[in-house]
Structure formats: structure tokens, C-alpha cells
């Protein structure tokens, strides 16, 4: 059998990459954080192990949907991108053997992430209260998620050879498979659990993850025999997941057999690009604008030279327009909880900016154009400034509209600019603006330091957002404790009455981190001490 040598080659290749080990660390850290948050205070003394097991199993379930497609999304597309897929066909390997070897090797990598979190899952077992049927349901849910998430990554990897598109397609397929799994699990729910069983996410999540203890409460009212009958009905889901994975492997085999020879775009692709991706309106203005940016700094022009870069900019602008229009039409909801509606969309925009910055110079590194840029008359300051300015300009219309509309709507709805609510909105907008400003700098630093895009993206979010806000939260907590000690434990401390430096300590920390990384980035660029290729 010719599959084993390919699996060994793939495992040896992945064992040399630090990203393989960091994924396990991240998976274990997520479950440790969930257990730590659960045990804050006296939760461990007052709760059963079943509640902690439910939380940890849910965290592992969603971590599988995030990590497994990300791990497997580049297994086949990278072979096509580097031109090594054709070399594999010069060996006795067949297309189905190549796909199967890639699936087994990357599946084994993903399984090691699950093994890394097993010690954390033993904690609720030591606490007691976890029944065998709960553990069986947890195994069913994670097995289904693993098979479908692995299939999503493989299918996306066989569909495209561009890494960014592969990740996007893997995420979309993961969402589709997740909805399909929850809907299929909802059909296994007994009629007594819900009045409308079928294609619904709620009963499916209840069956798989025991949301709010609903499954345990419903099963406790059944005889033991009926409990296991319900479980055996749900155990058909892993069989369906394996069947879907086999169909995905067959589809990937057909795609690899048909696309292993790199050919030019088809007539349909050329027609779609000409009809949908070619500028139609204001073409002379667009040409003059791009020529001006190219003359001033060609590095800034690289960020929006293609239609995909411009599509991201105008796509986010369209999303903001639609979102704010819908928000204005529901003014009664805005009056009740305006801040909670704005923060999620702002966080998604921050994640998009971090992803664009973390992927900076990726195409240039893969094609070797970065070496040519470094020997041009452009200085390191001009190269870095042009790239950071390009990311800023790409997201400037969406961020300006979002933050400006946020302040305007907060003023109109709250009506009293001097009140506590308006100051809270203003502080949040300032924090969001600071985050949007420093993320391109942090992302560019890690894009040239890390070999893998996901590692660069995770480090950008961790260093640029999580660490400053965690330090700020600790500082604010310390100040609150000091004020309560001085004024009495029964006194209530208003967060807006804290000193300005304390309230904006996260913003100051973000600016300090960005300045430090910008200095180190310039030095690394001048000394050529960074990773050129993956």
C-alpha cells in the first residue's frame, strides 16, 4: 500500500513546524481557561462535576469546529500552490491515495489536539456526578464534529489553491456542516422534549451539548431503558458523519484527478471576472486614484491593486450601511441596549483588520517578490509606512462610518451628553478606534515573524487586544478594591469616576505595544531578520 509513506512524509513535515505544537497548547489553554472561569469564587465547592463537564465538552465541541478546518484547509491547496502535486503523480500513487493520506495525516494531527485536552476533562470526573450516558453523549457530539470539520477542511483545500480563499471556504463549509449536524440531531430528539422536533438548531444543540442541563433534566424523567434508546438513536449521527467524510474524500479525489495539471482559467471564470470583477463606473477616477497612490508609494498601492482587496473594503462599507440602517429602524431596541449591539460587529471588524494585517506580504513572500522589494531604492520606513497606510485606507471608510454613526446615534438616543451612559459610549468608541489603529502595526510585525497565517493572526489578536485589555481589567479591579476599602465595602464604585489614565490604560498599553513592535519591525526589516518563505 502506497499510503503509508505519504502519511509518514506529511507527519515528519508537520512535526518540524512550531504551529503544530502551539495548536495543542491553545486547545489545552482554552479548556483550562473555561475551568478556571467556572471555578472562580466558590463554584467548585457548590457545583457537581456534570456542570463542569458540560461546559468543558461544549468548549471542546466548538474548538473542534474552529481548529480542525483551519489545520486541514491547506493540505491539498499547498501542494498545488507549490507545484508538488504533479510530482506525487509521478510516483505509483493514485489520486484517492493522495487524498486519503492527507486526510489521515491531518486527522491524526487534529486528534493530538483532542488528546492534549484529555487531562483537563478528567477534572469533572474526579469531582463526581458525571454519568456514563453523559460521557457517551459527549463522545457522540465530538466524533460528529470531528468528521464534519475534517471534511470541511479537505473540501475547501481541494477547491482552491489560494490560501485566503481556502480558509474562507473552510469556514463557510464548517458553518454549513454545523447547522446540518444540529438540524439532524434535532430529528433524534424525542417528541416529549419539544413540541416542534425536526430541522431546528435548538433541540439539536440540546441533544448534543446538554444546553442549560435540559437534556439531563429530560432524561432523568425517563426510565433507564428509554434513556439508552434515545442515545442509540443519537449514535447514528457519527455514522452519518463518517459517511459524509467518505463522500467528501470521493469529491476531493475527483477534484484532484481533474485539477492536478495547472491550467489557465476557464471561459466561465473569465466571463465572471469580466462581468463581476471589472470596474464599470468611475473607471477614469479609479485609474487616476490608483496612479496617484502608485506614484506616492507603490507599497501602499499593493494593498488594493486587485479587485479582491477593493471588494473587502467596499464589502465592509456595505455591511456597515446595512447594519446601521437596520439598527436605526429598530430605535426602541437601541434605547434599551445600544452598547451590546455595537460591540459584536465592532469585534468582527477588528478580527477582519487583524486578518488582513497578518496576511500582509504573504503573496510577496511566496512568489519571491519581497526580496525584490527590499533591493529597491525604498527605505525600510517607506516600505512599512506604505503597507500600514494601505491597510488603514482599506478599512477607513467602514471604520469611519461605524464609529461616527455610533457616536451620533448614542448622542441622539441618550439625549444627555453629560450622563454616565454617553461617557461609557465615548470611552468604548475611543477604545475601538485605538484598536483599529494599532492592529495593522501588530499584524504586520507577526506576518513577517511567523511562518503560518493562523499563528500570525492569533498572535496579533493576543498581543494587540487580549493582553492590553487583561492588564487594564486587573488595574481597574485593583482601583475599585482600593476605593471600596477607603469608602466602605457597601459603597458602589462608578467605573466612569475612575481616573482617566486608568480607564484608558488598555489604549495606552496598545499604543506602547504598537510603537515597540514598529521599532523592532523596522530593525528586523533593515537587518533582514525575518521569515521570507513558509
CA distances from 487 to 17, 228, 351, 480, 481 (A): 54, 58, 40, 10, 10
CA distances from 326 to 65, 322, 341 (A): 30, 6, 11
In this structure, are 117 and 16 located in the same domain?
A: yes
Could you list the residue range(s) of the whole structural domain that residue 210 is in?
3-259
Count Cβ neighbours within 10 Å for each residue of 41-70 and write b for 16 or more, e otherwise: eeeeeebebbbbbbbbbbbbbebbbebbbb
The most confident of the ranges 295-304, 367-376, 433-442 is 433-442
In this structure, are 206 and 274 located in the same domain?
A: no
Q: Which residue has the higher pLDDT, 527 or 335?
A: 527
pLDDT-derived band at 44, boundaries 50, 70, 90: low
In this structure, are 465 and 522 located in the same domain?
A: yes
In this structure, are 246 and 121 located in the same domain?
A: yes
The most confident of the ranges 203-212, 405-414, 424-433, 488-497 is 424-433
In this structure, are 186 and 329 located in the same domain?
A: no
Q: Which residue has the higher pLDDT, 260 or 437?
A: 437
- CA 241, 247, 253 angle in degrees (round to 5)? 135
Q: Which of 50-54, 98-102, 197-201, 387-391 has the lowest mean pLDDT?
A: 197-201
pLDDT tens for each residue of 326-341: 777 765 655 556 666 7
User: Quick check: is 341 in a domain?
Assistant: yes
User: Quick check: is 533 in a domain?
Assistant: no
Using the predicted structure, report yes or no on whether residue 241 has a pLDDT greater than 80. yes
**480 Cβ contact list (under 8 Å, min separation 6):** 493, 495, 498
User: Quick check: is 532 in a domain?
Assistant: no
Give the three cell numbers for residue 21.
505544537
Give the three cell numbers for residue 203.
433541540
pLDDT-derived band at 412, boundaries 50, 70, 90: low
Q: What is the CA 181 to chain-centroid distance, rounded?
A: 20
Last residue of a domain, one of 239, 259, 279: 259
Q: Which residue has the higher pLDDT, 294 or 23?
A: 23
In this structure, are 193 and 315 located in the same domain?
A: no
C-beta separation of 483 from 476 below 8 A:
no
- For the chain, give the mean pLDDT: 77
d(CA 335, CA 415): 11
d(CA 174, CA 65): 7
- Which pLDDT score, from 0 to 100, does residue 195 have? 43
3-state secondary structure of 345: helix
**336 Cβ contact list (under 8 Å, min separation 6):** none
CA nearest 261: which of 98, 87, 78?
87
- Which pLDDT score, from 0 to 100, does residue 436 have? 92
Q: For the chain, what is the largest distance between any 2 Cα atoms, rounded to a whole number of angstroms? A: 79
Q: Dihedral sign for Cα 221, 222, 228, 230, please.
A: negative
- Which pLDDT score, from 0 to 100, does residue 417 have? 47
d(CA 388, CA 371): 19
Q: How many domains does the chain fold into?
A: 3
Q: Which residue has the higher pLDDT, 414 or 317?
A: 317
- Which secondary-structure segment (H or E) carries 462? none
Last residue of a domain, one of 235, 259, 283: 259
CA distances from 462 to 22, 395, 455 (A): 13, 21, 10
pTM value?
0.73
Using the predicted structure, report yes or no on whether residue 283 has a pLDDT greater than 70. yes
C-beta separation of 26 from 455 below 8 A:
no
CA nearest 13: which of 65, 79, 70, 69?
79
In this structure, are 242 and 373 located in the same domain?
A: no
Give the three cell numbers for residue 258.
481533474
C-beta separation of 228 from 67 below 8 A:
no
C-beta separation of 244 from 151 below 8 A:
yes
User: Quick check: is 534 in a domain?
Assistant: no
Q: Count the neighbouring beta carbons within 10 Å of the beta carbon of residue 296.
A: 13
CA nearest 16: which of 512, 476, 505, 451?
451
DSSP E strands: which ranges in 422-509?
Answer: none
What's the whole-number mean pLDDT along residues 468-478?
A: 80
User: Quick check: is 292 in a domain?
Assistant: yes
In this structure, are 305 and 290 located in the same domain?
A: no
pLDDT-derived band at 199, boundaries 50, 70, 90: very low
CA nearest 372: which of 381, 363, 81, 234?
363
In this structure, are 7 and 117 located in the same domain?
A: yes
CA nearest 6: which of 109, 72, 88, 87?
88
In this structure, are 59 and 206 located in the same domain?
A: yes
pLDDT-derived band at 38, boundaries 50, 70, 90: confident
In this structure, are 353 and 495 located in the same domain?
A: yes
In this structure, are 96 and 182 located in the same domain?
A: yes
Amino acid at each position: 500500500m502506497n499510503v503509508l509513506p505519504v502519511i509518514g512524509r506529511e507527519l515528519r513535515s508537520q512535526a518540524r513546524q512550531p504551529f503544530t505544537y502551539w495548536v495543542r497548547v491553545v486547545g489545552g489553554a482554552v479548556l483550562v481557561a473555561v475551568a478556571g472561569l467556572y471555578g472562580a469564587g466558590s463554584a467548585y465547592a457548590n457545583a457537581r462535576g456534570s456542570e463542569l463537564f458540560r461546559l468543558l465538552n461544549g468548549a471542546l465541541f466548538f474548538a473542534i469546529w474552529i481548529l480542525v478546518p483551519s489545520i486541514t484547509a491547506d493540505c491539498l491547496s499547498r501542494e498545488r500552490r507549490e507545484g508538488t502535486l504533479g510530482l506525487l503523480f509521478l510516483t505509483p500513487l493514485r489520486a484517492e491515495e493522495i487524498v486519503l493520506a492527507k486526510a489521515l495525516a491531518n486527522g491524526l494531527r487534529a486528534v493530538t489536539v483532542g488528546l492534549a485536552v484529555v487531562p483537563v476533562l478528567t477534572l469533572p470526573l474526579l469531582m463526581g456526578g458525571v454519568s456514563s450516558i453523559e460521557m457517551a453523549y459527549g463522545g457522540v457530539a465530538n466524533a460528529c464534529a470531528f468528521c464534519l470539520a475534517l471534511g470541511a477542511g479537505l473540501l475547501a483545500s481541494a477547491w482552491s489553491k489560494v490560501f485566503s480563499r481556502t480558509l474562507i471556504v473552510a469556514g463557510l463549509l464548517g458553518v454549513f456542516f454545523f447547522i446540518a449536524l444540529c438540524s439532524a440531531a434535532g430529528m433524534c430528539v424525542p417528541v416529549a422534549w419539544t413540541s416542534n422536533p425536526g430541522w431546528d438548531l435548538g433541540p439539536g444543540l440540546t441533544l448534543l451539548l446538554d444546553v442549560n442541563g435540559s437534556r439531563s433534566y429530560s432524561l432523568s424523567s425517563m426510565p433507564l431503558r428509554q434513556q439508552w434508546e434515545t442515545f442509540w438513536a443519537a449514535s447514528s449521527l457519527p455514522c452519518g458523519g463518517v459517511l459524509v467524510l467518505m463522500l467528501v474524500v470521493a469529491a476531493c479525489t475527483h477534484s484532484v484527478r481533474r485539477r492536478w495539471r495547472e491550467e489557465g482559467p476557464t471561459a466561465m471564470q473569465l466571463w465572471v471576472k469580466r462581468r463581476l470583477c471589472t470596474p464599470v463606473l468611475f473607471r477614469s477616477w479609479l485609474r487616476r486614484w490608483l496612479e496617484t497612490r502608485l506614484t506616492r508609494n507603490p507599497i501602499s498601492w499593493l494593498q488594493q491593486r486587485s479587485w479582491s482587496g477593493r471588494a473587502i473594503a467596499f464589502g465592509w462599507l456595505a455591511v456597515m450601511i446595512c447594519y446601521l440602517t437596520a439598527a436605526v429602524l429598530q430605535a426602541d431596541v437601541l434605547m434599551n441596549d445600544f452598547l451590546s449591539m455595537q460591540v459584536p460587529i465592532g469585534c468582527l471588524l477588528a478580527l477582519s483588520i487583524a486578518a488582513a494585517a497578518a496576511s500582509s506580504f504573504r503573496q510577496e513572500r511566496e512568489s519571491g517578490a519581497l526580496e525584490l522589494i527590499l533591493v529597491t531604492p525604498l527605505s525600510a520606513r517607506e516600505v512599512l509606512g506604505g503597507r500600514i497606510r494601505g491597510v488603514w485606507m482599506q478599512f477607513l471608510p467602514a471604520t469611519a462610518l461605524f464609529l461616527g454613526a455610533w457616536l451620533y446615534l448614542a448622542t441622539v438616543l441618550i439625549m444627555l451628553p453629560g450622563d454616565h451612559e454617553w461617557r461609557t459610549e465615548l470611552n468604548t468608541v475611543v477604545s475601538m478606534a485605538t484598536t483599529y489603529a494599532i492592529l495593522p502595526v501588530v499584524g504586520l510585525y507577526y506576518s513577517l515573524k511567523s511562518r503560518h497565517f493562523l499563528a500570525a493572526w492569533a498572535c496579533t489578536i493576543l498581543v494587540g487586544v487580549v493582553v492590553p485589555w487583561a492588564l487594564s481589567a486587573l488595574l481597574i479591579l485593583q482601583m475599585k478594591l482600593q476605593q471600596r476599602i477607603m469608602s466602605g465595602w457597601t459603597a458602589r464604585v462608578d467605573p466612569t469616576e475612575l481616573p482617566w489614565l486608568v480607564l484608558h490604560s488598555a489604549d495606552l498599553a496598545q499604543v506602547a505595544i504598537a510603537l515597540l513592535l514598529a521599532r523592532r519591525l523596522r530593525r528586523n526589516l533593515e537587518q533582514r531578520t525575518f521569515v521570507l518563505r513558509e
